[in-house]
């Protein structure tokens, strides 16, 4: 086990410019010259790098190297003066002077720096890097894979959704209530009960410009092709309405098919699962990672 901190931005502009991460790999008795597949593990909102520690251990036992980290305003990056929720709210209320993008984009920035480090390690096979994570971790996994081809096998868990679909079909409430502070700041009288689809759309566009267009799953998932992509989500997950996820997957499947790699994209959405990691979901993720990463 190795514990590191990586500087990702100037401390003058953000308290979040350092990234604590942990690397775990098989026993030192193994061949240190061997380049191994690496799986980046990301936690959900409110958790930290230890959230998937048992899962990490099982992956390492099968021959993987794992890398777990604290996303911004979580774990070792908790800022005493500003919580994660408060940071997102400030990116809405003070967007002209507050330059952070705590909702997803800053974490993607950090992870691109982490990929720089992993790709230079002599014990990492840079052609076999995967990523997975639950909820917030699933969203960051999706966004990172879209923007950076060094992620070969992304498996976002309960993170992919069509934000546009949710708005058009009045199914945005689950995701909104996962980060209520920013929507309370935007709601008339600060009352979440007074929120409208129009207000929700305005918040999304301010805290992450392009979320309802360029970045949305319907438009962005296809950018991952021809790399293997498995999207795992709960069929009853109110935060990620499965109908919107299916629409996004269908659009991406057309791109994969056009490139002759239709077998490299899958959706697993069990109807009895909510916003969670079930044993069946984990089994699917493990099998997908093994299929695409374990064999050089």
10 Å CB burial of residue 191 (0-12, 13-18, 19+) is exposed
133 bridge partner residues: 42, 156
Confidence (pLDDT) at 12: 62
Q: How far apart are CA 67 and CA 153, in angstroms?
A: 15
Confidence (pLDDT) at 252: 98
Q: How far apart are CA 238 and CA 251, in angstroms?
A: 21
Alpha helices in the chain (DSSP H): 53-61, 84-93, 105-120, 136-147, 163-168, 173-176, 180-186, 197-207, 217-220, 242-258, 279-289
Q: State mean pLDDT over 53-81.
A: 94
Helix (H, G, I), strand (E, B) or coil at 281: helix
Confidence (pLDDT) at 296: 67
Confidence (pLDDT) at 80: 78
Closest by CA position to 60, among listed 21, 23, 29, 20? 23
Q: State mean pLDDT over 106-114.
A: 97
Spell out the domains of the chain, with CATH numbers in brackets: 2-8+17-25+35-294 (3.40.50.1820)
Q: Is the pLDDT of residue 156 over 80?
A: yes
Q: State mean pLDDT over 2-10.
A: 90
Q: Is the pLDDT of residue 13 over 90?
A: no
The sheet with strand 153-157 has its strands ordered as: 2-7, 18-24, 65-69, 36-42, 124-134, 153-157, 229-232, 265-268
Confidence (pLDDT) at 81: 77
How does the average pLDDT of the chain come out, rounded?
Answer: 95
141 bridge partner residues: none
Confidence (pLDDT) at 62: 94
Q: How far apart are CA 193 and CA 59, in angstroms?
A: 44
Q: Supply the pTM of this predicted model.
A: 0.95
More confident residue, 280 or 32: 280
Q: Is the pLDDT of residue 32 over 90?
A: no
């Amino acid at each position: 086990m190795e514990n590191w901190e990586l500087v990702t931005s100037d401390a003058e502009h953000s308290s979040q410019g350092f990234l604590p991460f942990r690397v775990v790999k098989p026993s030192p008795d193994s061949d240190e010259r061997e380049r191994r597949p690496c799986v980046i593990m990301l936690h959900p909102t409110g958790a930290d790098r230890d959230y998937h520690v048992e899962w990490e251990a099982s992956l390492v036992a099968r021959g993987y190297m794992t890398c777990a980290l604290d996303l911004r305003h979580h774990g070792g990056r908790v800022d005493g003066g500003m919580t994660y929720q408060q940071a997102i709210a400030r990116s809405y209320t003070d967007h002209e002077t507050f330059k952070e993008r705590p909702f997803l984009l800053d974490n993607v920035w950090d992870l691109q720096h982490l990929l720089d480090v992993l790709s230079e390690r002599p014990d990492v096979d840079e052609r076999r890097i995967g990523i997975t994570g639950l909820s917030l971790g699933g969203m960051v996994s999706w966004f990172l894979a879209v923007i950076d081809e060094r992620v070969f096998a992304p498996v976002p868990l309960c993170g992919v959704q069509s934000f546009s679909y949710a708005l058009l079909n009045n199914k945005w409430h689950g995701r909104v209530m996962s980060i209520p502070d920013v929507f309370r700041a935007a709601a008339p009288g600060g009352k979440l009960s007074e929120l409208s689809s129009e207000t929700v759309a305005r918040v999304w566009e301010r805290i992450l410009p392009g979320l309802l267009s360029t970045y949305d799953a319907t438009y962005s998932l296809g950018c991952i092709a021809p790399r293997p992509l498995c999207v795992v989500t709960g069929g009853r997950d109110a935060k990620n309405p499965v109908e919107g996820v299916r629409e996004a997957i269908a659009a991406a499947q057309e791109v994969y098919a056009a490139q002759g790699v239709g077998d490299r994209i899958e959706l697993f959405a069990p109807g009895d699962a909510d916003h969670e990691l079930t044993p069946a979901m984990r089994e699917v993720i493990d099998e997908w990672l093994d299929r695409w990463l374990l064999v050089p």
